[in-house]
Amino acid sequence: MTRIDISAHILPKRYFDAVMAAAPAGFYMQKRVSAIPTLVDLDARFRILDRFDDYVQVLSLALPPVEAVASPGKSAELARIANEELSALVTKYPDRFAAGVAGLPLNDVPATLREIDHAVRRLGLRGVQLYTHINGKPLDDPDLLPIFEAVAELDVPIWLHPARGAAPPDYPGEKKSLYEIWHVFGWPFDTTIAMTRMIFSGLFDRFPTLKVITHHLGGTVPFLESRIKNAYDQFGARTADEDYGALLHKLKKHPHEYYRMFFADTALYGSPPALECGLAFFGPEHVLFGSDMPFDAEGGSRYIRQTLDAIERMTATAEVKRRMLRENAVRLLGLEPGGR
C-alpha cells in the first residue's frame, strides 16, 4: 500500500531564489528555511525518501507566506513561479510526488482568483494553501469571501497552515513571544482561532461542501472537545457587550458540530495517544497522514519515521489506518486508484 503524506513542504529552487531576491533581509522564517537543504535540494530530499518504501508526498510550499515577503503584483509573480514549479515536479517525478498544493498571493484577491483557476484548471494542482491570517487579516474578512467561493466552486480542499510569528508578544509588556512559545504552542492556538472564525462567520453554512485540512491535527480542538461543547451551550449568556445569542441562532448547527467538518493531518511528530484523541474527534474519514517533512532535526526523516511509527502503534483497526495512510487522500484529492 502506497502511503500518501499530504503535508510535505518544499521550496522549489526557482521559487526559492525568487523569494530570496524579493524579500527584505531577515524576513519571517528566513533562518529556519535557509538551514534545511531538503526544502530546496531535490537530491537531498530523494535520499531521505529512499529510506521509506511505498511512500509518496503531496507537496505544499513552506513558510513564509508569499504575501508576507512581497507586495501585490510581485506576490502574484512569485505564486505563479511556485505553482508552475510544483506542477512540473509532480509531472516529472510521479513516483515521488502524488500531487501539489497551490500557493496563492493572498494580499491580492483578484490575482489570487486568477491563480486559483490557473493552478487547478491548467496546472492540475489538487488544492490550495491558505494561512490562518493574511498579514494580520482574519480569514472571515469579507474581502476574502471570493476566494472561498472560487475554491468551493472548484471543489478542491484547502490546506490551512498556521502563520503566527514572534509578534504579538504573549504578554503586553514584552516586545515578542519568547522561547519559541509562538511556534510550539502558538501555532495550534492560531489554527484553532482561524477554525472558530470560519465557523462563526457562517462559511460552512454558505459553502457546506467546503473541505479544509487543518495542520497539526486541528490545533487544540480535539483535546478541548468537551470544553467547546459546554462553553458554546452557554454562548451569549455571559457576554454583556455582544449579542452572541443572536449569532448562535443564525448558525444551522451547534458550533461544536462545525469543528467536526474540518479534516486534519497527523503532523504531531509521534504520540499515539494524541493521534487517538484527534481520530476520536474528527473520525476515520477526516484524518490524513501528514508528516510536516522536512522541519525536524534530521532534515526530514525523523518526522516521517515518528509519524508512521505512531500510526502503527495506534489502537485503531487496520482498515482505519489504511484510510488515514492512503484512502482518505485518494478520495479527497481525487487521485487515481494508484495514488497518482
Nearest to 57 by CA among 299, 291, 301, 308: 291
Q: Which pLDDT value is given to residue 23?
A: 77
- Give domain 3-333's CATH number out of 3.20.20.140, 3.90.380.10, 3.90.1150.10, 3.40.120.10: 3.20.20.140
The amino acid occupying position 312 is E
Residue 340 confidence (pLDDT): 47
C-alpha span between 252 and 238 (Å, rounded): 22
Other CB atoms within a 10 A radius of the CB of residue 184 amount to 10
Distance CA 132, CA 164 (A): 8
Q: What is the pLDDT of residues 93-128, one digit of tens each?
A: 999 999 999 999 999 999 999 999 999 999 999 999
pTM of the model: 0.95
What pLDDT shows up at residue 25? 72
Q: Are strands 137-138 and 133-134 parallel, antiparallel or unpaired?
A: antiparallel
Closest CA to 36 of 63, 18, 60, 59: 63
Nearest-angstrom CA–CA distance, 68 and 52 = 34
CA pair distance 73, 71, nearest whole angstrom: 6
Q: Cell 455571559, residue?
A: 238
- Residue 125 has phi, psi (to 5 degrees) of -70, 150
Planar angle of CA 129, 135, 139, nearest 5 degrees: 55
| Residue closest to 130 by CA, chosen among 151, 112, 104 | 104
Per-residue model confidence as pLDDT tens digits over 147-180 = 999 999 999 999 999 999 999 999 999 999 999 9
Residue-level pLDDT at 243:
83
Measured CA to CA, the distance from residue 6 to residue 267 in angstroms comes to: 10
Nearest residue to 131 via CA among 75, 183, 187, 176:
187
| Residues of the chain scoring pLDDT < 70 | 26-34, 337-340
What does the pLDDT read at residue 32? 64
Q: Give the CA dihedral 255, 261, 267, 271, nearest 10 degrees.
A: 70
Q: What cell numbers appear for 159 in the block?
A: 490546506
Q: Give CA separation, 121 vs 83, 92, 158, in Å.
A: 12, 19, 15
pLDDT for 201: 96
- As a whole number of angstroms, the distance between CA 321 and CA 17 comes to 39
